[in-house]
A and B are shown apart, each in its own frame.
Chain A
Amino acid sequence: MNITERIIARAAGKQSVAPGDAVFADVDCAMMHDVSGPGVIKVIERLKKEGIEFNGVWDPDKVWIAEDHFVPSAEKASAENTAKLSKFTAKYGIKKHFKYGLGEYGICHTLSHEDAMVMPGELYVGGDSHTNTTGALGAFACGLGHTDMAYVMFYGRMWFRVPETIYFKLNGRLGEHVMAKDVILRIIGDIGTDGAAYKAMQFGGEAVAAMSVEDRLTLTNMTTEAGAKNGIIEADQKVGEYLGQRGAASAAQKCGTADDIISPDADSFAEVHEYDISELEPLVAKPFSPENVVLVREASSVDLNKAYLGSCTGAKMEDLEAAARILKGRKVKIRTEVLPASISIFKRALERGLVSIFLDAGAVVGPPTCGACCGAHMGVLGSEEVCVSATNRNFPGRMGHIESQTYLASPMVVAASAVTGHLTDPRDL
């Protein structure tokens, strides 16, 4: 069995499972945010009218809450939603509620690793499609809707169809101006937005073992854009150390070695795709799909109105460091918005001088939020605006007006393009 199958089998109380099996499995950890949480509360209220009474969360210590999509409150409805969430967590004894403006908070898929909320080997579900991100910690991490999350709140379990696994064996090393974002864009460009539908995407090989934990998180984050049920990477001691530094002293014992990443069980994969990432060049996904992938150099005539560095995909510490290397001593030519993905990252960016670099370049630095990435608030696009963005989706209307255009790229490409005002390969700056 591969790692996805091992975790599902363990959680389902079975010796083994095979792709295609439909099983009920116990949930180790569950997350809701300020969109899915109120949605779940709505389901619970509706069930009550139908005679199904909610008698409390199955295990409040296994549930955590993030406020990220509509914070700071965009208007009255979102203020009501966060208030509703606070009442819910207080009433049912959920202690881990990251609140905007109250200590550490941030985007849920960043807190999951940044604050060590999920451990290797766990079966983790979240009320958000990019829950896949957290699979880079060696967990089975999968997004669910409101009815399913309500069911988890009731019973602590959920049904899963065991997915076939597509294995991506990555060889070589990332070039100086190439990031993990370019790797996942290349893969989505090759297999398409339904290329991994209903399936697991596992990443391994020497290149993955050599990557930082945050690079790996970028890979798993956008498995959602290929339709995958989950993205996953075996956990090595780098993961143990990363989580250990964030307060999870026991994480290291749950992690294996680099060998687990380099040579996973070869018989357990439905498909294998091999890449030499040394050959990759900076890429963009053109509107209106993450699969419209071309070389940045082939799209350098595209003029831009805005550069956006934010979201669970492109505003981790290393993403900001990469962008700052480009922006240091330079000025931006277009609106440039930098939103670190959590307060802890914001604080480190301040301490290490990155915030000054962004401000000196002429960018604005804002609080963590999903706001503009999902076209909700805090910087949405107008009808004629064209944006280069370190985020994950560029469907029609994703970041604002239905006619606005978003080009998805790495933080380095976003920074280089901010300097010139058109799509720019960092090597050409």
Chain B
Amino acid sequence: MQGKATKYERENIDTDVIIPGTYLKVHDHDELGRHAMEGIDPKFHSRMEGRSMMVTGKNFGCGSSREHAPIALSKSGVRAVLAPSFARIFYRNCVDGAYLLPVEISQDAYESIADGDELKISMAEQKVENITQGATYEIAPIPDLIAGIIAAGGLFRYKV
């Protein structure tokens, strides 16, 4: 997976910001996409133009269990989020629903990636290549079960 990254230099971005509570009654995925990140960045969609990755600070996706959050991001063109850590339900929702790839990188890697950098993710090799800067970052090890679910394309494909 390869693409340009949009960077948010902010920690603890919560689900109330990713998709506010008033939209919890909405289950139309395209409509959720239109409201993604509207809490903190009304220009989110224009900033994602031609880009497919987000880079953010630690504990991304904390807060509620709403699956609306990864759905809204994926419908906005986000195929991967790279962060030093993720809130656990958000992480599960991304992997099990196969909406987008949550990639745990080090704090140093997070700090060194710049807005607009071209990144290439290899889950098989457990690394992220920063093509713009000519750097390589390790991906934090994940249990075989989670790697299996990602490779299968979601929990229902892992075991049907």
Contacts and interface: CB of A to CB of B under 8 A. Distances in A.
B8 interface: no
Nearest to B144: A22
A52 to B, nearest CB: 6
Contact of B156 (A151, A193, A374, A375): A151
Contacts of B154: 147
A397 B20 contact: yes
A374 B64 contact: yes
Nearest to B98: A147
Interface in B76-90: 85, 87-89
Contact of A145 (B14, B39, B92, B160): B92
Interface string A133-171: 000000000011111101100010001010000000000
Contact of B87 (A81, A197, A376, A396): A197
Interface string A15-35: 000001010000000000001
Contact of B39 (A81, A374, A376, A402): A402
Given A22-B143, A22-B144, A52 B160 contact: yes
B21 to A, nearest CB: 4
A147 B155 contact: yes
A115 B14 CA distance: 31
Nearest to A377: B22
Nearest to B145: A22
Given A145-B97, A147-B96, A193-B59, A81 B88 contact: no
B25 A78 contact: yes
B59 A376 contact: no
A243 B3 CA distance: 54
Contact of B24 (A43, A69, A143, A393): A69
B150 to A, nearest CB: 13
Interface residues of A, number: 50
B87 to A, nearest CB: 6
B68 to A, nearest CB: 8
Contacts of A193: 12, 59, 62
A194 B145 contact: no
Interface in B131-147: 143-146
Contacts of B24: 35, 69-70, 374, 376
B1 interface: no
Contacts of A47: 156
Given A145-B92, A227-B88, A127 B64 contact: no
B58 interface: yes
Nearest to A82: B25
B93 interface: yes
B63 A375 contact: no
Contacts of A393: 14, 16, 63
A351 B151 CA distance: 58
A147 B156 contact: yes
B156 A194 contact: no
A52 B156 contact: yes
Contacts of B16: 374-375, 393, 395-398
A422 interface: no
A146 B85 contact: no
A375 B20 contact: yes
Nearest to A77: B25
A39 interface: yes
Given A145-B93, A398-B21, A197 B143 contact: no
Question: In the complex, which range does the number of interface residues on chain B fall in?
Answer: 35 or more
Contacts of A52: 156, 160
B108 to A, nearest CB: 18
Contact of B62 (A70, A145, A151, A227): A227
B17 A395 contact: yes
B66 interface: yes
A35 B63 contact: no
Nearest to A35: B24
A88 interface: no
A194 B143 contact: no
Contacts of B89: 129, 143-145
Contact of B21 (A36, A143, A145, A375): A375
Contacts of A69: 24
A160 to B, nearest CB: 10
A376 B17 CA distance: 14
Nearest to A196: B88
B93 A376 contact: no
A224 to B, nearest CB: 8
Interface in A24-81: 35-36, 38-39, 42-43, 47, 52, 69-70, 74-75, 77-78, 81
B129 interface: no
Interface in A164-197: 193-194, 197
Interface in B96-155: 96-97, 143-146, 149, 154-155
Interface of B: 12, 14, 16-17, 20-22, 24-27, 39-40, 58-59, 62-68, 85, 87-89, 92-93, 96-97, 143-146, 149, 154-156, 159-160
22 contacts: A22-B146, A35-B24, A39-B68, A43-B97, A70-B24, A77-B26, A131-B65, A145-B66, A146-B97, A147-B93, A147-B155, A148-B92, A161-B145, A193-B59, A197-B87, A227-B59, A289-B12, A374-B16, A374-B24, A393-B14, A397-B17, A402-B39
